[in-house]
């Protein structure tokens, strides 16, 4: 039995808050081999997706995957994002949302495993320039940045913690 985390529940709650408030929910994703997104929109290994009701069709968010269909340059495409790849969800209009640490565990197929929540993740404004399309460019880490021990240094979005 796998350990349950709050991450998928928080993502669904933030999505619901955005939609009920009339805001556009944006999903920040660290792209990996399991993530199915339009690769032409991926920048530095990350992508930001508009997952609002007007931009998606058949959106489902379970504890392991976020699945939906969306149009990219007029072509319908299926998008599949493992919860472990989600690094944030925020409102386009206000910038408020939550950042998460990307997970180390990767699901093999829809319905596998999700990542733990980053300690100290909090609601925060995130400046965003976005288009009305289903995708915007995300900001990411430079894969060549390393710590003194040789491990890649993970840069996190600049967020302000609100208490």
Residue range 51-104, pLDDT digits in tens: 999 999 999 999 999 999 999 999 999 999 999 999 999 999 999 999 988 765
Higher pLDDT, 53 or 124: 53
Tally of domains in the chain: 1
DSSP secondary structure, the chain, as one string:
-PPP-SHHHHHHHHHHHHHHTT--EEEEEE--TT-BS-GGG-BTTEEEEE-STTT-EEEEE-SSEEEEEEEETTEEEEEEEEGGGEEEEEETTT-EEEE-PPPS---SSSSS--PPPPTT---EE------SSSEEEPP---TT-B-TTSPBPPP--------
Q: How confident is the model at residue 142 (pLDDT cuts 50, 70, 90)?
A: very low
pLDDT digits (tens, 9 = 90+) for 34-45: 999 999 999 999
Higher pLDDT, 106 or 36: 36
CATH number at residue 19: 2.30.30.220
Q: Is the pLDDT of residue 115 over 80?
A: no
Q: Is the pLDDT of residue 133 over 50?
A: no
**Assigned domain for 30 exists:** yes
**Assigned domain for 118 exists:** yes
**Assigned domain for 17 exists:** yes
Domain span holding position 126? 7-137
């Amino acid at each position: 039995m796998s350990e349950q985390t709050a991450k998928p529940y928080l993502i669904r709650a933030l999505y619901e808050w955005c939609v009920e408030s009339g805001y556009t929910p944006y999903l920040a994703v660290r792209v990996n081999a399991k993530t199915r997104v339009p690769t032409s929109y991926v920048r530095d290994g990350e992508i930001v997706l508009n997952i609002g009701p007007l931009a998606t069709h058949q959106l489902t968010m379970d504890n392991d995957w976020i699945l939906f269909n969306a149009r990219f340059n007029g072509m319908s495409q299926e998008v599949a994002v493992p919860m472990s790849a989600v690094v944030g969800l925020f409102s386009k209009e206000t910038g408020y949302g939550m950042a998460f640490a990307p997970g180390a565990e990767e699901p093999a197929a829809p319905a596998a495993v999700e990542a733990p929540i980053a300690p100290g993740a909090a609601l925060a404004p995130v400046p965003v320039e976005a288009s009305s399309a289903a995708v915007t460019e995300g900001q990411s880490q430079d894969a060549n940045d390393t710590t003194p021990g040789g491990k890649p240094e993970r840069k996190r979005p600049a967020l302000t913690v609100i208490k």
